[in-house]
Chain A
Amino acid sequence: ETGVTQSPTHLIKTRGQQVTLRCSSQSGHNTVSWYQQALGQGPQFIFQYYREEENGRGNFPPRFSGLQFPNYSSELNVNALELDDSALYLCASSLVRGASVTGELFFGEGSRLTVL
């Protein structure tokens, strides 16, 4: 069983730039969620993708966008980077099967973004 993998593990950008983070979900999982974790804080929900559609969004501006691909992998894109975007970005996959939801998130190790 392959776990959740994320890339890159670390990256540094400057204000105003754009970044793309990637995530491969655990095998057998069809749902991907993205979380932002600032230093000393818990993970904050950005959005979730299910069947290639956004399935819920947290309190993040539109410059945070995402994609899910047919193989259930996902990307998180952030445009016009701001200093406050510096954080650990976590991807988590889960399995949704009709009305039955496992509720368990399987996390990747994260991509640490530093914005200078």
Chain B
Amino acid sequence: AQRVTQPEKLLSVFKGAPVELKCNYSYSGSPELFWYVQYSRQRLQLLLRHISRESIKGFTADLNKGETSFHLKKPFAQEEDSAMYYCALSEANTGNQFYFGTGTSLTVIP
């Protein structure tokens, strides 16, 4: 069963425009949600996790349990934000199996 859905494979925005990468999940237990990012020629790395409630590189993501969503947002996109973004879910307090979405490739147009 698909646990994490990222509906957009490709997303292009202009520099300075707001950006939102969508993520919906399906999980009956207590999930932890994450966003991982892969910049060009770099390895996959953690961007942020919902329990931290931090803003990383200007990005924020709010867990909406009612809508089962964890959308990633940034008010003003920068060229260096161009990358592949993966939403991921794991069961809380286990750190065991992560379920990844299919990813969204973000291109910020100068």
Chain A residues at the B interface, C-beta cutoff of 8 Å: 3-4, 31, 33, 35, 40-45, 48, 55-56, 58, 90, 94, 96, 99, 101-110
Query: Residue on B with the closest CB to A110?
Result: B43
Q: Which residue of A90, A101, A104 contacts B94 across the interface (Cβ within 8 Å)?
A: A101
Contact call A107/B45, Cβ cutoff below 8 A: yes
Q: Which residue of A33, A40, A99, A108 contacts B98 across the interface (Cβ within 8 Å)?
A: A33
6 closest residue pairs by CB, A with B = A101-B95, A42-B100, A107-B44, A56-B96, A45-B97, A103-B95
Interface: B49 (CB within 8 A) = yes
Complex CA gap A58/B43 in Å reads 22
CB-defined contacts of B98 to chain A, threshold 8 Å: 33, 35, 43, 45, 105
Interface flags for B3-24 (1: CB within 8 Å of A; 0: not) read 0100001000000000000000
Contact call A41/B102, Cβ cutoff below 8 A: yes
CB-defined contacts of A104 to chain B, threshold 8 Å: 46, 49
Contact call A103/B43, Cβ cutoff below 8 A: no
Contact call A101/B100, Cβ cutoff below 8 A: no
Complex CA gap A18/B83 in Å reads 34
Query: Residue on B with the closest CB to A33?
Result: B98
Contact call A109/B43, Cβ cutoff below 8 A: yes
Most chain B C-beta atoms within 10 Å of own C-beta, residue among A31, A45, A108, A110: A45
Q: Which residue of B4, B9, B49, B99 contacts A103 across the interface (Cβ within 8 Å)?
A: B49
Within the complex, what minimum Cβ distance (angstroms) separates B88 from chain A? Answer: 8
